Amino acid sequence: MKLSIQINEGPYQHQASDSAYMFTKAALEKGHEIFRVFFYHDGVGNGTRLTTPPQDDRNIVNRWADLADEYKLDMVVCVAAAQRRGIVDEGEAERNKKDATNIQPQFRISGLGQLIEAAVQSERLVVFGD
């Protein structure tokens, strides 16, 4: 089955990001295809490389990055939500005259069209978080 995943909550906000990660990992291990993982609203916080949880806590951002590397996942952060929350890649930094970037390399910033495409191209769009 071809799936797309939408995450609407930050990595340490509630359990949505953890649940989405576990679901995505399990689906991939069972042989399902993940067309795209789309981070929206506060979920864009899953894409910042500056997250530094305590050493004895899970690093959700790194979990997503490792999963993306292992399975070559398309990890998209919503541009409008990212701008509101200070998630910046090189293109957005240049366009908005910012002096730094903070997006994890496995993620990319794009628009809502990527979410619509994911919904159209997939058999199911599974949403985590409000």
- For the annotated catalytic residues, the residue numbers are 78
**Buried b / exposed e along 45-54 (16+ C-beta atoms within 10 A):** bbbbbebeee
Extended beta strands in the chain, E state: 2-7, 33-39, 75-78, 107-110, 124-128
The vertex-67 CA angle with 74 and 129, nearest 5°, equals 75
Rounded Cα distance between 119 and 98, Å, is 32
Q: With beta carbons less than 8 A apart as the criterion, state whether 11 and 45 touch.
A: yes
State the number of CA atoms in the 13 A half-sphere of 3 facing the CB.
18
